[in-house]
Structure 1
């Protein structure tokens, strides 16, 4: 063996829920599972005493934006701001000591729901107080709403694409919604390939620190809309250099129809690639977010009856794109938060499943937050995956009932209901929208509480998951979402040696203490890529 890890509690997460004391690794593959006594009889280049710690399969995140997360680390972090004034002050201080990134002053993470007084969206008037010399672009935490200053708005409106997206731009306030939020990135100065590679390496280090060994990541728009091939090149070069310490299942997302057409014409399909970098599903964003009231609902918002949210495209356009995806051998993962959007997604899947006689496409609804019993029934029948983010309740519990009304809260964030019905669910974070710390996600799923462990007893107690269900969300169930359950997601002989070691056995402590557990070690392909 190359390595033997012994004297541990090695929870396999296999079908029989086997627990072992030792695991042996050869050439990045699990070759042995058994007792300490059995392990003592096997020769190995390296033996590691786990000192009784818990070992789980490497964690997976089925939806995030890793490259974008990494790039944002150089921007103004506005998550802790509790007022418009605080945002302005933080922006001024940042501008005094930092050269504008890519020609713009950039910030992200503001959330009007966290403002202590007036809970309103940022406007160009606010951002003009930060700078009138540089364009300013500050995206909301959900990334579905953003504000620009007057100069930034002028630059956006001068773009040919702005005319097509007029309905998503509030010219008076300087607020961009949905697809319009992506316009500024098209006119920012470019990030070089080498700089982007270093961003990826830094981001992956953060992932490894959280025990993550696989990500389903939407990165094609992380640079500029037409540079998706360069993003693939970045990952492939880092893999060849031995510097890519996470497996990537790329959720292929495009802003321009021509780029999507080019992608299809080049013959890519889901599953292409290597064990480290694979083409995943076609990723579409159909509606917006709950906090920004842009999630597409069937009924008006309770706290703003003038709106039902926004759709990025109509049903016929959606159906056309889904048709092309099926024709070209693609799985799909479509962002749907509101019940209207989710219904449209399921409608499109059903039509295309029938047209192409599909049996195991494993298409998904990303988020699937506002459902109902009929939508869930149809998801089960069509084997539509729910790619959920338990950590979203940390923010959404503040506003969910306010947004939709008490009577519509019956089937929201319905994780337990989904699993009991047999709907395949898999866990993610949507980072940088929320933290990809898996143990925080597990805490939210098991306790139905925010990151301050409130409310007592749980927010949606009937939708709490068991600890085993929550762990499976981020291991074997995530592997199922990429057709890789035979290769990873559980600790079994013949599978990849991807593992995480925790400082506490979360199966032996109170559920309330899960949030205080940390990662001690992360192993990818049998190599230690993080050690506390």
Structure 2
């Protein structure tokens, strides 16, 4: 009897076990299958992921990449609510990153006079005359974008290759005018603006007021100001221009976000912001308007601001929308205004070497504090001397605090003209060059006049030499110095031609980037320049869902039609934020 009871008990245990197993299997089979939010397929998808460089399809889940690979496997993640985007032969890449620009300058360029495409001094006069008609009495007229080296010809009255103020003053006698050079390193003022700044146009009794360390007031044969203020001398005028209103700041911000989306830009390295801009960005993020991944550099002009941030340390945003972990130092000027700091004098002005606009002692001090407090240091340098001096200060700081040197990724912004001896030092020190390829297209035709053939060929726009040395290059446009258009900078990267397609074969063609290198410089390498390669820059599972879709294949389209490429769609944070209007 006992044996029968034991046998019955064992059968019951087995039966219960089968029931449990069946329930588990049933639970697994009825569990809801994970499905994506968005499925994209139907055209070449360049991932910038070396393990999976080109894929058929991408699936996102909310704001992250869920899958990147074959369409067959992607379809398995498709559910009834999954949105499908058929590329219809168009091309997708990771979301593009503007590696060096000025975000509020971009927005304000759309509000103020945009002179970037002017081809003559008369066009500028005409634009200001039109603005005068619309302005209130006494209202300041401001703009940006003129560049005397891009004009068809200089006006008859010119000094050191710059125009003089008389024509500008004649068409705007009652409205002060200040027009910033395309480079941002010089400005042009009319008589009314100089009068409000307290600069007498008659007599030389106040000439001491025209002397500014780290800058220059261009004067005529009589010693009178021509209206052109170079580098730090610009503050003689700019400190008298009324500050922008909060309402106008918000308007400029929103215009800049929209401009980024139109151009396929999902990330932006903002090269130098102050406390007012930080407050604005915080406000925009809190209101859900930060439609761009902002990587901001603190302006080095405000020492109090830097000291405040040294105490609290970097702010790496867990939402990856507004991060502050770097410092921007402006160490020399621009080549166009002859402000770039050179080892040898300018070929077209033999008594002039450019300007050291920030003491090198401060570069060393900031480098040490950057190491101590976890901040990346990003120094503007265009001339070969500025680049050398900054590399020297970085190296000295690294040697002084070797225990704190650990993937600091210090940068030099522009790194435009280098002495050959300094090219390998970037890789040796781990210093990232953030270079804007489109500057070659704009500047190279006249840059040879400033530097001469030898310096141009041995050290100007040395992209391939730097890449081969083992350091990545971060690309961009320096907007609003150049238009935000990344296609133009991509074209310059791979052709080294002007945007008109000259010269045949490109300038110094050995320094061209390959198309893959150029795309990396706008995606994965740009992300690396901001310590963000783990979350963006490639179409890799787990990274953020930021994509740019083009109407043709950047990697294969013939060179002569490359500039015709247009952005069809921009996807930011897993959402379509821009679609090209149907014509």
Q: The TM-score by the shorter chain falls in which range?
A: over 0.9
* Distance change >3 Å, CA 295–CA 163, structure 1 → 2: closer
**Counterpart position of 2:153:** 117
**Counterpart position of 1:512:** 560
SS state at 2:500 partner: coil
After superposition, the C-alpha distances for 1:360-385 in whole angstroms (9 at most, x for unaligned) are 11011111111133111211100110
Would the aligned equivalents of 1:78 and 1:109 in 2 still touch at CA under 8 Å? yes
| Distance in 2, Cα, partners of 1:349 & 1:271 | 23
Matched, 1:342 2:399: no
* Distance change >3 Å, CA 156–CA 324, structure 1 → 2: farther
| Distance in 2, Cα, partners of 1:311 & 1:287 | 5
Would the aligned equivalents of 2:137 and 2:174 in 1 still touch at CA under 8 Å? no
| Distance in 2, Cα, partners of 1:137 & 1:131 | 11
Give the alignment's TM-score, normalised by structure 2: 0.85
| Distance in 2, Cα, partners of 1:124 & 1:71 | 24
- CA shift, 1:353, in A, is 1.0
| Distance in 1, Cα, partners of 2:49 & 2:443 | 33
Would the aligned equivalents of 2:125 and 2:167 in 1 still touch at CA under 8 Å? yes
Counterpart selection for 2:287 from 241, 263, 286? 241
| Distance in 2, Cα, partners of 1:273 & 1:196 | 26
- CA shift, 1:157, in A, is 4.7
Matched, 1:5 2:46: no
SS state at 1:129 partner: helix
| Distance in 2, Cα, partners of 1:31 & 1:60 | 21
Would the aligned equivalents of 1:7 and 1:51 in 2 still touch at CA under 8 Å? yes
SS state at 2:269 partner: strand
Counterpart selection for 1:385 from 424, 432, 446? 432
Q: Where in structure 2 are there 5+ consecutive unaligned residues?
A: 1-35, 156-160, 200-207, 219-223
Counterpart selection for 2:192 from 128, 143, 151? 151
| Distance in 2, Cα, partners of 1:244 & 1:463 | 37
| Distance in 1, Cα, partners of 2:110 & 2:380 | 24
**Counterpart position of 1:225:** none
Over the aligned positions, Cα root-mean-square deviation in angstroms equals: 2.2
- CA shift, 1:330, in A, is 1.2
After superposition, the C-alpha distances for 1:216-259 in whole angstroms (9 at most, x for unaligned) are 01352xxxxxxx33322322222232222110000211434444
- CA shift, 1:181, in A, is 2.5
**Counterpart position of 1:352:** 397
- CA shift, 1:149, in A, is 1.7
Q: Where in structure 1 are there 5+ consecutive unaligned residues?
A: 221-227
- CA shift, 1:274, in A, is 4.0
**Counterpart position of 2:28:** none
Matched, 1:457 2:494: no
Would the aligned equivalents of 2:536 and 2:544 in 1 still touch at CA under 8 Å? yes
| Distance in 2, Cα, partners of 1:100 & 1:38 | 67
| Distance in 2, Cα, partners of 1:478 & 1:19 | 20
**Counterpart position of 1:197:** 250
Matched, 1:137 2:174: no
- CA shift, 1:166, in A, is 8.4
After superposition, the C-alpha distances for 1:383-441 in whole angstroms (9 at most, x for unaligned) are 11010000001221121211111121212101011111112211011000012211111
| Distance in 1, Cα, partners of 2:472 & 2:86 | 36
After superposition, the C-alpha distances for 1:65-119 in whole angstroms (9 at most, x for unaligned) are 0111211222222233333333222211221023489x41112111111232326
**Counterpart position of 1:375:** 422
- CA shift, 1:340, in A, is 0.4
| Distance in 1, Cα, partners of 2:359 & 2:321 | 36
| Distance in 1, Cα, partners of 2:58 & 2:397 | 44
* Distance change >3 Å, CA 260–CA 161, structure 1 → 2: farther
- CA shift, 1:32, in A, is 1.2
**How many residues of Structure 1 are paired with residues of Structure 2 in the alignment?**
522
Would the aligned equivalents of 2:38 and 2:61 in 1 still touch at CA under 8 Å? yes
**Counterpart position of 2:320:** 275
- CA shift, 1:198, in A, is 2.2
- Higher mean alpha-carbon deviation, 1-10 vs 357-366, is at 1-10
Would the aligned equivalents of 2:232 and 2:357 in 1 still touch at CA under 8 Å? yes
Q: Which is greater in Rg?
A: 2
After superposition, the C-alpha distances for 1:113-167 in whole angstroms (9 at most, x for unaligned) are 1232326313333331232212210111111011112232233358x99876585
| Distance in 1, Cα, partners of 2:59 & 2:532 | 21
| Distance in 1, Cα, partners of 2:444 & 2:484 | 19
* Distance change >3 Å, CA 271–CA 123, structure 1 → 2: farther
1:416-427 correspondence to structure 2 within 5 Å:
416-427=464-475
**Counterpart position of 2:23:** none
**Counterpart position of 2:108:** 71
**Counterpart position of 1:21:** 56
1:118-517 correspondence to structure 2 within 5 Å:
118=154, 120-157=161-198, 165=213, 167-170=215-218, 172-182=225-235, 184-218=237-271, 220=273, 228-265=274-311, 267-269=312-314, 271=316, 274-357=319-402, 358-409=405-456, 410-517=458-565
Matched, 1:34 2:69: yes
Give the alignment's TM-score, normalised by structure 1: 0.93
Would the aligned equivalents of 1:269 and 1:329 in 2 still touch at CA under 8 Å? yes
Would the aligned equivalents of 1:123 and 1:148 in 2 still touch at CA under 8 Å? no
